[in-house]
Amino acid sequence: MRPRLDITRDAAVSLMLLKDSSLERRVLKILEMVEAGTTFAIRDLAAEFRLSPAYLQRLFKHETGICMGEWLGEQRLQRAAYLLSNSYLSIKEITHAVGYEHTSSFIRAFERRFAQAPARYRKQCEGKYQPEGDKRTRAA
């Protein structure tokens, strides 16, 4: 069994895992799919590999040392932070783009992770993203 990796609140964990060629091929494929920016639920990933959700989660935990649900949640929130600081998408659009059904659930999760609301996070990042030819104001 591999040594347990602590989930750092950072996307670097994913990059580290992707470089580990000894991972089981299905787990490696899941890491690649999620890293590519596609949003998945555990049940969707399990169906993709013809596994039960419970078995997939055990396999993922055994191979990486990280709880799959925590890892997927971190990936969603990292992608949301990126979209907040690098796009003009509304918070509602970002909510759905990263796989949350309800904006209120997304906001609560984002606040727990980043210790501030998504709108405040975006305001803090303002001015860092200026796409050419687009002078619209950001929607919050």
Would you put residue 2 in left (φ > 0), alpha (ψ -120 to 50) or beta? beta
Q: pLDDT tens, 88-128?
A: 999 999 999 999 999 999 999 999 999 999 999 999 988 66
CA–CA separation, 100 vs 93, rounded Å? 10
Cα 140 to the center of its chain, rounded Å: 20
pLDDT of residue 19: 52
Q: Which amino acid is present at 74?
A: E
Domains in the chain: ranges and CATH: 12-71 (no CATH), 73-125 (1.10.10.60)
Does the pTM surpass 0.85? The reply is no
Distance CA 48, CA 61 (A): 18
Instruction: Give Cβ neighbours of residue 29 (< 8 Å, ≥ 6 apart).
Output: 49
Q: What is the pLDDT of residues 25-64, one digit of tens each?
A: 888 888 888 888 777 889 999 998 899 999 999 999 998 8
Residue that is written with structure tokens 């990486």 in the block: 64
Contact yes or no for 22/64 (Cβ under 8 A): no
How far apart are alpha carbons 83 and 111 in whole angstroms? 16
What DSSP string describes 53-104?
A: HHHHHHHHHHHHSS-HHHHHHHHHHHHHHHHHHH----HHHHHHHTT-S-HH
